[in-house]
Amino acid sequence: MAECGDALGIAVRAPLSDGGLVCPGLDLGGSTANAFSLHGKVAVVTGALGPLGRRHCRALAEAGANVVACDVDGEESWALADELPTASVGFGVNVTDPHSIRTMLELALLEFDRVDVLVNNCVAGGAVKMPALTAEQARFENYPLALWRESLETSATGAFLCAQIIGARMARQGGGSIVNVVSSCAAEGAADSAAGGRGGGGGSPACSAAKGAIVALTRYLAAYWAEANVRVNALSPASLENGHDACFVTNCAANCALGLEAGATDSGAAVVFLASDASTYVTGASLLVDGVVMLRATD
């Protein structure tokens, strides 16, 4: 027996093999850069036509993944897939309908024969259009029940169904990675949201509740599928650059320690990390990409 502590930063005892030191989790034959590669992997992305979804599809494809872009508009999803640098496909999918999800999975398996990554990215308010609210309607006391139900159905139930159906396939094939895209509002709540707590979008009571539910589901699934080698993590981005008006950007800057919105590649790079072998020992986590909104300095 010999110690591997110097290599890993912890004391691990492992047997010698072929005259060399064996350290669990340490691949001396590879490189850090290779760990981030998604070549040969297939990634399903729901909510692909939203601002985050498009960036995540491109980031995954640029890392080498074949992308299955899914949203309510099948033609637009195919158009997005055609723009990606890897062989990718697009399908129209209703994430609240199990039959629709299963049909998409069957088609994806016919095309690629496997699914390695699921990015649960779908939210009400993306390609699923939500009505604009007046300032008075956005107040919690007046928040529409229909909007609450639609948001939870699309975001929370959609994530549940996609994980149930696609994650089960990953478990049967020997492993995979699920990335549940939530929001910093799941932890901050409406009053502290980076954009000032506007109703109808990030910071609304429905968004906070739906995303919070997905974070809890993430932890449940991480434990449930651990033995099946299916990792499940949440990604919690704050506001990303997307042509917002000056008032929105100013609110973000005021509520963020870094003083700006996230850039075009920030969220996508985090998705690649969680999808790839670079995060093989990460599961049940909620990765914040928020410019330290929650820890901002106070006067």
36-90 pLDDT, tens per residue? 999 999 999 999 999 899 999 999 999 999 999 999 999 999 999 999 999 999 9
What pLDDT does 257 receive?
60
Average pLDDT of the residues in 154-180: 97
Tell me the whole-structure pTM to 2 decimals.
0.79
Place of tokens 């590879």: 30
| Mean pLDDT computed over every residue of the chain | 80
Distance CA 158, CA 287 (A): 20
What pLDDT does 132 receive?
66
Residues 12-34: tens digit of each pLDDT: 333 333 443 333 444 434 577 79
Q: Are strands 20-21 and 16-17 parallel, antiparallel or unpaired?
A: antiparallel
Q: For residue 177, name the pLDDT band (cuts at 50, 70, 90).
A: very high
C-alpha radius of gyration, the chain, whole number: 20
Task: Identify whether the C-beta of residue 252 lies closer than 8 Å to the C-beta of residue 191.
Answer: no
Per-residue pLDDT for 288 more than 70? yes
Q: Are strands 176-181 and 117-120 parallel, antiparallel or unpaired?
A: parallel
Distance CA 3, CA 270 (A): 33
Fold of domain 38-289: Rossmann fold (3.40.50)
Average pLDDT of the residues in 199-206: 59
Side-chain-side CA neighbours of 82 within 13 Å: the count stands at 6
Q: Where in the chain is the domain with CATH 3.40.50.720?
A: 38-289
Of the candidate ranges 171-185, 215-229, 237-251, the one whose mean pLDDT is the lowest: 237-251
What pLDDT does 239 receive?
63
